[in-house]
Chains A and B, each alone.
Chain A
Amino acid sequence: MSISNNRLPAEEFEKNFSDIHPPFETKEAALVEANRCLFCYDAPCTKSCPTGINVPKFIKQITTDNIKGSATTIFLSNIFGGGCSRVCPVEKLCEGACVFNLMHEQPIAIAKLQRYSTEDAIEDKWKLFERKPSTGKKVAVVGAGPAGLSCAHVLSREGIDITVFEKESKGGGLMTYGIAAYKVTPEFCNDEVDFITSLGGIEIKYNHELGKDISLEQLQQQYDAVFLGIGVGLANQLNIPGEDLAGVEDAIDFIYHIRDKGYSNVPVGDRVIVIGMGMTAIDAATQAKRLGAKEVTMVYRRSESEKGCTQVELDIARLDGCKIVWLAAPKEIVGNDGKLTALVCDVMKLGAPDYSGKPAPIPTGDTITIEADMVIKATGQKPFEDLVSYYGLENKKGKILSKENHATNLSKIFAGGDCVNGGKEVVDAVQAGKEAAAAIIQHLTPAFSKGEGAEQNAMSVITASTVDRDSSPLSFGEGQG
């Protein structure tokens, strides 16, 4: 048993990491599907989308050969609409709510249609949005992930100049670094970031890390407002013996390396164990298998009904040949000569619901031992507790506490996305960025905070259904509009 890279021929890698959700091959295929859509009123799909994309509208626009309009409908609600069409767990969001499910029919392939409508726009950088003349206001955004860039795009559209500080060398955040390559390719992630910034008024400073290269005080002083979309980063530790043995790796690092180094350069074991049952655990397990691991076993301390991933995701892992051991909680990683050889797990049973609302796993007293040469930990990520505490941001175990309008306890500082919610979907981060942008606009435009309907006006910037892309929902005072 050993950990090694370059296990497969190049063409095998190519095949294993090709698009798991291929696009429509032809326009006709897209039209057949688009024409199935009933064009529901107050549509359940739209209501189930965290960013509220007007799904029936964008699908109708496909059927009328108005792809430009269709793309605009999507991007107005979700500037990451292209990426989300590939990574969203649609089976529990829009497609899960599609009324066809109630007729026991296949739901409309919303994600696939969304990809169809956004693909060319992103690749060819269609100019779908007109940036308003500069207002002279400046906002700093920390983190070029979905929350940060979503916030930046809305603000820049309104004529606010944006500087984004990103600690990595590429934008996209979790989309670029934290999701399986067969769902969204690194090239696509680059294109998506370029598409977003092609609006103008958004400068991304890469390799600039908060607390290292820049400080919050500096930003507070130099900018009219600051948005923190710093995500979560550090992998949760298991706190069990043997965690420091060679061969124990964080899922986030593992996935990052696959995306960063290229498939043949990422070492993987013969027998790999993945701990956890969320989306990241699935991405790690399936990709370990696709890199050439002989055996991949996923262990989870609860049972199938409590899993964090969706059924569709679990099915991908099963189809990839991953083994799954339910009700097994890691107890100890054992090794030899500093290298791990096996994982010992407590066999669990389910008890009364715990703080999370899920049945608590309780040790039965039995243990099992699974031989392995690699253990990938995918038990969630921790927020940057030290960093936020250092700057005096009110937080709960590192999760920044923000008010309704995404403002923090510090003046001019707003926050949203994973660093506030602790780690949800990309689409949730996009929405948080949008909402924070509306709050920042209101903050920067005192005229709007007075008088009736102020909030509504500011919100109209991000409410696709009430705003026409050519209209001017907001203009800034003092002759700048």
Chain B
Amino acid sequence: MADISANFLGIKSPNPYWLASAPPTDKKYNVLRAFEAGWGGVVWKTLGSQVKNVSSRYSAVNFNNTRVMGFNNIELISDRPLDINLKEIEECVRLFPDRAMIVSLMADNSREKWHELIKQVEDTGAHGLELNFGCPHGMTERGMGATVGQDPAIAKMVVEWVMEAAHIPVITKLTPNVHSVVPTGKACVEGGTSALSLINTIQSVTGIDLDTFVPNPYVAGKSVFGGYCGPAVKPIALKMLATISQDETTRKVPISGIGGISTWKDAAEFMLLGATTVQVCTAAMKYGFRIIEDMCDGLNNWMDEKGFKTIDDFVGKSVSTLTHWEDLDINYHHVANINQDKCIHCGLCYIACEDASHQSISLTYGKPYNTYAIKEEECVGCNLCQLICPVEDCITMVVQRKGDDYLNWKEFQERGLPLNDH
């Protein structure tokens, strides 16, 4: 059995799964249930000046039969009294001392307010702080949340205020609502943050009701941009995480990965791109805390299979494989192959290639089943047919290199090699 425990700047948790700062972590009742279910840690829902929420707070994007492929919220930070939150945090830490307790913070825009809040939170015995520089709705109108995270100079300044007062590790959570997360990430590291976490939610409009013409979530005939998350945002989160893992400054601090993580596989991917721990919210909001069981079990089995003893054995392992396009090997070539024994004659590969790609699949009429075959000389190896085929391993990509040696674009040009002639 592999050891899946995490040590994040000395904050230990029996597994790398923390619940992200969100409704599932806004009170003792939920947090204790999460710990009982086996979650490694929680990031307590953001504390700050007490706010008031509206009713009707979430909306979702469904895809075919899958509900909540993407999820959206317009909820603000915790709307509970600060003293109750602090008291409950203390109780949770006492009842589950082996779990990570991070508290998310968003103080009003002054050094004193931040210092005061940090002091109060540290008194609870919490193990770490997470600075919410990412909330993209509501709080931004008050100059907080993403407004801070979108300006590296302001972000750095606030981090510096925090570091003056903090005695426990500080994680700064980055907003994805920027052209690149690196500038703010760098500024925060330079400002002294102990770690980074990303991504927060992405500003969105999830849809419009075609009867009322009002976008959702519906609040008395109006709506507002919300924060998008869930499985749909995972690829964006992975990309942003990778840029933080690649940058010389930001890669010096540990990262907690966030963004559409629903399974152990998602988690492993975030960890391969440099996350030491991962944070989960939407999946728990959809299915409840019980999903933690397979998240641990699956990760453990995969690590055993790959020979990883601890998570440190693979955290960041894939970062170096993400390169510049110009460094890709132009001599690499593969073509699709259809396994006729597995083919169910649905024609999806054919019509995709015919209408949208390179007309590299032939159709031989049959009633009722046509036969489809790859025209290898036409196939550019784009993967489209393989991605679309509904049968596992029916279409495979077979390597047919154009040359034995590695050849990048720069060299290709230097050698004056021919471009496509059609």
Binding between chains A and B: yes
Give A residues with C-beta under 8 Å from B: 31-32, 35-36, 38-45, 47-48, 63, 97, 99-100, 102-103
Q: Does residue B44 face the partner (Cβ distance < 8 Å to A)?
A: no
Distance (Å) between the CB of A43 and the closest chain B CB?
Answer: 7
Chain B neighbourhood of A35, CB < 8 A: 64-65
Contact (Cβ within 8 A) A44 B369: yes
11 pairs, CB–CB < 8 Å, chain A vs chain B? A35-B65, A39-B348, A41-B348, A42-B347, A42-B363, A42-B370, A44-B345, A44-B368, A45-B368, A47-B368, A99-B346
Q: Does residue B391 face the partner (Cβ distance < 8 Å to A)?
A: yes
Which of A38, A47, A63 is within 8 Å of B348, CB to CB? A38
Which of B346, B363, B369 is within 8 Å of A38, CB to CB? B346
Distance (Å) between the CB of A119 and the closest chain B CB?
Answer: 22
**8 more CB-based (< 8 A) A-B contacts, given A35-B65, A38-B390, A41-B346:** A40-B346, A40-B347, A41-B347, A41-B348, A44-B368, A63-B64, A100-B344, A103-B391
Chain B neighbourhood of A99, CB < 8 A: 344-346
Q: Does residue B422 face the partner (Cβ distance < 8 Å to A)?
A: no
Q: Does residue B178 face the partner (Cβ distance < 8 Å to A)?
A: no
Chain A neighbourhood of B65, CB < 8 A: 31-32, 35-36
Q: Does residue B415 face the partner (Cβ distance < 8 Å to A)?
A: no
Residue of A nearest to B367 (CB): A47
Contact (Cβ within 8 A) A97 B346: no
Residue of A nearest to B391 (CB): A103
Contact (Cβ within 8 A) B368 A41: no
Q: Does residue B351 face the partner (Cβ distance < 8 Å to A)?
A: yes
- Given A32-B65, A47-B368, A63-B64, residue A41 in contact with residue B350 (CB < 8 A): yes
Q: Once bound together, how far apart are the Cα atoms of A281 and B24, in whole Å? A: 63
Q: Once bound together, how far apart are the Cα atoms of A269 and B115, in whole Å? A: 95
Give B residues with C-beta under 8 Å from A: 64-65, 344-348, 350-351, 363, 367-370, 390-391
Chain A neighbourhood of B363, CB < 8 A: 42
Residue of A nearest to B370 (CB): A42
Q: Once bound together, how far apart are the Cα atoms of A103 and B363, in whole Å? A: 21
Leading 4 A-B pairs by shortest Cβ distance: A41-B347, A44-B368, A41-B351, A99-B344
Residue of B nearest to A96 (CB): B368
Chain B neighbourhood of A32, CB < 8 A: 65
- The count of A-to-B residue pairs whose CB atoms sit within 8 angstroms is 41
Q: Once bound together, how far apart are the Cα atoms of A63 and B390, in whole Å? A: 19
Majority-rule SS of A interface residues: helix
Chain A neighbourhood of B390, CB < 8 A: 38
Residue of A nearest to B343 (CB): A102
Majority-rule SS of B interface residues: loop
Residue of A nearest to B368 (CB): A44
Q: Once bound together, how far apart are the Cα atoms of A226 and B266, in whole Å? A: 68
Residue of A nearest to B363 (CB): A42
Q: Once bound together, how far apart are the Cα atoms of A42 and B345, in whole Å? A: 9
Contact (Cβ within 8 A) B64 A102: no
Chain A neighbourhood of B367, CB < 8 A: 47
Distance (Å) between the CB of A470 and the closest chain B CB?
Answer: 22
Contact (Cβ within 8 A) A102 B347: no
Contact (Cβ within 8 A) A102 B351: no
Chain B neighbourhood of A45, CB < 8 A: 368
Q: Once bound together, how far apart are the Cα atoms of A150 and B251, in whole Å? A: 72
Residue of B nearest to A48 (CB): B368
Contact (Cβ within 8 A) A40 B64: no
Distance (Å) between the CB of B346 and the closest chain A CB?
Answer: 4
Chain B neighbourhood of A97, CB < 8 A: 368-369
Residue of B nearest to A99 (CB): B344
Residue in A40, A43, A97 with the greatest tally of chain B CB atoms within 10 Å = A40
Residue of A nearest to B355 (CB): A41
Distance (Å) between the CB of A195 and the closest chain B CB?
Answer: 27
Q: Once bound together, how far apart are the Cα atoms of A103 and B345, in whole Å? A: 11
Distance (Å) between the CB of B337 and the closest chain A CB?
Answer: 19
Residue in B350, B368, B369 with the greatest tally of chain A CB atoms within 10 Å = B368
Q: Once bound together, how far apart are the Cα atoms of A39 and B346, in whole Å? A: 8
Chain B neighbourhood of A44, CB < 8 A: 345, 368-369
Residue of B nearest to A39 (CB): B348
Q: Once bound together, how far apart are the Cα atoms of A259 and B345, in whole Å? A: 42
- Given A32-B65, A44-B369, residue A103 in contact with residue B344 (CB < 8 A): yes
Q: Once bound together, how far apart are the Cα atoms of A13 and B190, in whole Å? A: 83
Q: Once bound together, how far apart are the Cα atoms of A97 and B368, in whole Å? A: 7
Contact (Cβ within 8 A) A102 B345: yes
Distance (Å) between the CB of A28 and the closest chain B CB?
Answer: 9
Chain A neighbourhood of B391, CB < 8 A: 103
Distance (Å) between the CB of B164 and the closest chain A CB?
Answer: 55
Residue of B nearest to A33 (CB): B65
Residue of B nearest to A97 (CB): B368
Distance (Å) between the CB of A268 and the closest chain B CB?
Answer: 41
Distance (Å) between the CB of B265 and the closest chain A CB?
Answer: 23
Q: Once bound together, how far apart are the Cα atoms of A99 and B345, in whole Å? A: 7
Chain B neighbourhood of A47, CB < 8 A: 367-368
Distance (Å) between the CB of B354 and the closest chain A CB?
Answer: 9
Q: Once bound together, how far apart are the Cα atoms of A31 and B367, in whole Å? A: 29
Distance (Å) between the CB of B310 and the closest chain A CB?
Answer: 40
Distance (Å) between the CB of B360 and the closest chain A CB?
Answer: 15
Distance (Å) between the CB of B311 and the closest chain A CB?
Answer: 37
Residue of A nearest to B390 (CB): A38
Q: Once bound together, how far apart are the Cα atoms of A300 and B235, in whole Å? A: 64
Q: Once bound together, how far apart are the Cα atoms of A129 and B319, in whole Å? A: 60
Distance (Å) between the CB of B67 and the closest chain A CB?
Answer: 11
Q: Once bound together, how far apart are the Cα atoms of A99 and B391, in whole Å? A: 11
Distance (Å) between the CB of A79 and the closest chain B CB?
Answer: 23
Distance (Å) between the CB of B351 and the closest chain A CB?
Answer: 4
Contact (Cβ within 8 A) A102 B344: yes
Chain A neighbourhood of B345, CB < 8 A: 40, 44, 99, 102
Contact (Cβ within 8 A) A40 B369: no
Chain A neighbourhood of B368, CB < 8 A: 44-45, 47-48, 97
Q: Once bound together, how far apart are the Cα atoms of A32 and B67, in whole Å? A: 11
Residue of B nearest to A103 (CB): B344
Residue of B nearest to A102 (CB): B344
Distance (Å) between the CB of A104 and the closest chain B CB?
Answer: 10
Contact (Cβ within 8 A) B344 A43: no
Q: Once bound together, how far apart are the Cα atoms of A41 and B347, in whole Å? A: 5
Q: Once bound together, how far apart are the Cα atoms of A48 and B350, in whole Å? A: 20
Chain A neighbourhood of B344, CB < 8 A: 99-100, 102-103
Chain A neighbourhood of B351, CB < 8 A: 41
Residue of B nearest to A100 (CB): B344
Q: Once bound together, how far apart are the Cα atoms of A338 and B313, in whole Å? A: 94
Contact (Cβ within 8 A) A43 B64: no
Chain B neighbourhood of A41, CB < 8 A: 346-348, 350-351
Distance (Å) between the CB of B350 and the closest chain A CB?
Answer: 6
Q: Once bound together, how far apart are the Cα atoms of A97 and B346, in whole Å? A: 11
Q: Once bound together, how far apart are the Cα atoms of A45 and B344, in whole Å? A: 13
Q: Once bound together, how far apart are the Cα atoms of A31 and B64, in whole Å? A: 8
Residue in B347, B350, B351 with the greatest tally of chain A CB atoms within 10 Å = B347
Q: Once bound together, how far apart are the Cα atoms of A36 and B351, in whole Å? A: 19
Q: Once bound together, how far apart are the Cα atoms of A6 and B370, in whole Å? A: 54
Chain A neighbourhood of B350, CB < 8 A: 41
Q: Once bound together, how far apart are the Cα atoms of A36 and B347, in whole Å? A: 16
Chain A neighbourhood of B64, CB < 8 A: 35, 63
Chain B neighbourhood of A43, CB < 8 A: 346-347
Q: Once bound together, how far apart are the Cα atoms of A275 and B351, in whole Å? A: 49
Chain A neighbourhood of B347, CB < 8 A: 40-43
Q: Once bound together, how far apart are the Cα atoms of A42 and B350, in whole Å? A: 10
